[in-house]
Structure 1
Amino acid sequence: MAFDGHAGANKLARTLHKRMKSMSDSPLVLDFGRIESDYGLITNTFPVKIPKGDYTVCRHVTGILLETSGGSHGGHEHGDGSHSHSIPVPGLSPGNHVLVAWVQNEAVVIDVIN
């Protein structure tokens, strides 16, 4: 091994190899977390703040608008009363408690926990 003459580097390499192996062997982990005031994420199993942009957020917790249409009802002077609505889904906010899935070494915010 190239680091045989360097005990510190050899020990570091063994430690990193052991950690990477244990992480790749571990199953998907669900975790709880909290969105901080700067939109950083802190989870129960990784208490170091993950900056906004360094974690992934599922689409339905990003503040999207859901569209619904169809249906009809009476009471209109003209037309059949058909209509559509936009339903806003709240996005993440500081202080939210969230459900996080760990996919390999990436945190993915799945949903807001009330």
Structure 2
Amino acid sequence: MAFDAHAGTNKLARTLHKRIKSMSDSPLVLDFGKIESDYGLVTNTFPVKIPQGDYTVCRHVTGISLGTSGGSHGGHEYGDGSHSHSIPVPGLSPGNHVLVAWVQNEAVVIDVIS
């Protein structure tokens, strides 16, 4: 090797090589999947069905309702026209294609892909 006579440079090169190799050996972080009819999850890289309850789902794909309020407009006989709305966010459904993040060995459904 060209750097054998330079111990510091050789050590740096070995360290960088190990770091780069370990990064390329790291497992996939993001994956695509599909919600099955029984709400099991099958991902592209792990084709064995993960039963509902054995994977995690981010809050915004659980069917929550988001609240919004404020603002005003004219046209009301009483008050200033301020108001609020509840915006339902659809939850997971069978057949949904989803984005999955792998956190160590646990699948986390991030969002529905459309």
| TM bucket normalised to smaller | 0.7 to 0.9
Alignment gaps of 5+ in structure 1: none
Q: Deviations over 1:35-80 (max 9, x none)?
A: 0000000000000000000000000000110000000000001111
Q: Distance in 2 between matches of 1:2 and 1:16?
A: 16
Name the % identity: 91
CA 1:66–1:17: 2 relative to 1, 3 Å: same
CA 1:20–1:75: 2 relative to 1, 3 Å: same
Contact 1:24–1:104 at 8 Å: present in 2 too? no
Q: Which has the larger radius of gyration?
A: 2
* Residue 103, structure 1, aligned to residue 103, structure 2: yes
Contact 1:66–1:89 at 8 Å: present in 2 too? yes
CA 1:29–1:39: 2 relative to 1, 3 Å: same
CA 1:10–1:105: 2 relative to 1, 3 Å: farther
Contact 1:69–1:83 at 8 Å: present in 2 too? yes
Residue 26 (structure 1) shift: 2.0
Q: Could you list the structure 1 runs, at least 4 aligned residues long, displaced by more than 3 angstroms after superposition.
A: 1-25
CA 1:92–1:42: 2 relative to 1, 3 Å: same
Contact 1:31–1:43 at 8 Å: present in 2 too? yes
Alignment gaps of 5+ in structure 2: none
> Which stretch of the first structure deviates more once superposed, 19-28 or 70-79?
19-28
> Which stretch of the first structure deviates more once superposed, 20-29 or 36-45?
20-29
Compute the RMSD of aligned alpha carbons: 9.3
Contact 1:28–1:103 at 8 Å: present in 2 too? no
Query: Normalising to structure 1: TM-score of the pair?
Result: 0.77
Q: Distance in 2 between matches of 1:112 and 1:16?
A: 38
CA 1:80–1:15: 2 relative to 1, 3 Å: closer
Query: Normalising to structure 2: TM-score of the pair?
Result: 0.77
Q: Distance in 2 between matches of 1:32 and 1:58?
A: 15
